[in-house]
Amino acid sequence: MIAARFALAESVEPEPHGGVRARRPHFSASALNAYAECERKWFYRYVCAAIEDPGSAASAYGTAFHLALERFHERYVRPRADELAAMHRDLEREIENAFAEHRDGFPTAVEFELQMRRARRTGQRYVEWLSAEAARAPFTVIGRELPAQLELEGFSFIGFIDRLDREDGSGSVGVVDYKTGTIATSAAQYLEKVRNFDDFQLPFYYWVRTAAGDRVTRLVLLPLKDALLEVRPIVLEVVPVPAAPARGDAPIGTVSIVDLERAKTRMIEICRELTSSQPRAFPVTDDPEACVFCAYAIACARRPPRDGERFGR
Ligand code: SF4
């Protein structure tokens, strides 16, 4: 009976294997970082656009805090230690305004309130640090959310620099990246990430600003995640040749121009890989930690199991 109703079609020839190309004409440091973390994640996000990531309270916290600091430094271009009380008051106000504007990014009213309180407390710590830093080495904020663009061997890179500072004494420039998530806890750890090609963001900004004529001498990660800890930036000072590695947990270390050149070369290599159109697989990471907050984890059957999950799937 069934055979009478259905005519089986001839099987079609399988399509020839084809390559996959990056869909966008430009690359960002976050795309390169995603590729370095897990090639499959890059494929899902930047080729398939598999799902629309609705974001999370953590990402809304980051967006709102960045906005608050951008506006805060519009007023405090040259922070001064004797403005401490005013800075406390103004940053608190900017945080409240920015969080109110991003209210929809928080799934519940409780989450919104908790995250805003965390930001207020972290903001207090930020102002304390800023005031001490301004007294130690006065500086001028010369850029906020600054567009960063660079052409390298035919590839176009784009991004935004959170903040650019110029030291009043030496005239040298520091690139500052606000970090509201987990980051390296020491200069040595961050240098390792740069050397292993796990993080391209600050090397990319270094080359952007160097091409623009700045004398960039510092790459700074500014942690704004934990309200219970003092703000303790991770700083890599740029030196011409590799220097002795920083002490284990020291927040200040060095990165050589040789390392930054290698990072730049690797950025170009990755772009070549991603635009080659050669058939290829996009392997999953072997680090289960990379999967914890991955938006594609449900769809990703081959993701590496975490220890407690090994027999659970
Ligand atoms: S779940 Fe893990 S392995 Fe899969 S795409 Fe995400 S990061 Fe990669």
For residue 277, pLDDT beyond 90: no
Expressed in angstroms and rounded, the spacing between residue 298 Cα and the centre of ligand 1 is 9
Q: Measuring from atom 2 of ligand 1, which residue has the nearest CA?
A: 291
The predicted-structure confidence for 10-46, as pLDDT tens digits, reads as follows: 888 887 776 676 666 789 988 999 999 999 999 888 8
Given pLDDT bands bounded at 50, 70 and 90, which one contains residue 75? very high
> 42-46, 119-123, 137-141: which has the minimum mean pLDDT?
42-46
Given pLDDT bands bounded at 50, 70 and 90, which one contains residue 50? low
At 278 the pLDDT is 76
Expressed in angstroms and rounded, the spacing between residue 220 Cα and the centre of ligand 1 is 28
Q: Measuring from atom 1 of ligand 1, which residue has the nearest CA?
A: 297
The rounded distance, in Å, linking the Cα atoms of 48 and 46 is 6
Q: What is each CA distance from 6 to 10, 11, 12, 192, in whole angstroms?
A: 13, 15, 17, 62
Mean pLDDT over each residue of the chain, to the nearest integer: 90
More confident residue, 300 or 17: 300
At 54 the pLDDT is 67
Given pLDDT bands bounded at 50, 70 and 90, which one contains residue 124? very high
**Candidates 42, 291, 302, 306: which one to mutate for ligand 1, based on the most atoms within 8 Å of Cβ?**
291
**Closest listed residue to residue 255, CA positions, set 210, 190, 172, 173:** 190
At 49 the pLDDT is 74
- Neighbour-count burial for 195-221, b at 16+ CB within 10 Å, e otherwise: eebebbbbbbbbbbbbeeebebbbbbb
At 241 the pLDDT is 82
Beta carbons within 8 Å of 178's beta carbon, 6+ residues apart: 65, 66, 69, 162, 163, 222, 224
The residue extents of the domains of the chain are: 138-282
**Closest listed residue to residue 43, CA positions, set 23, 29, 28, 17:** 23
CB 145 within 8 A of CB 171: no
Given pLDDT bands bounded at 50, 70 and 90, which one contains residue 4? low
For residue 313, pLDDT beyond 60: no
At 221 the pLDDT is 97
Expressed in angstroms and rounded, the spacing between residue 221 Cα and the centre of ligand 1 is 26
Q: What is the mean pLDDT of residues 255-260?
A: 96
Q: Sign of the CA dihedral 171, 221, 117, 58?
A: positive
Task: Pick the atom of ligand 1 nearest to 39's CA.
Answer: 8
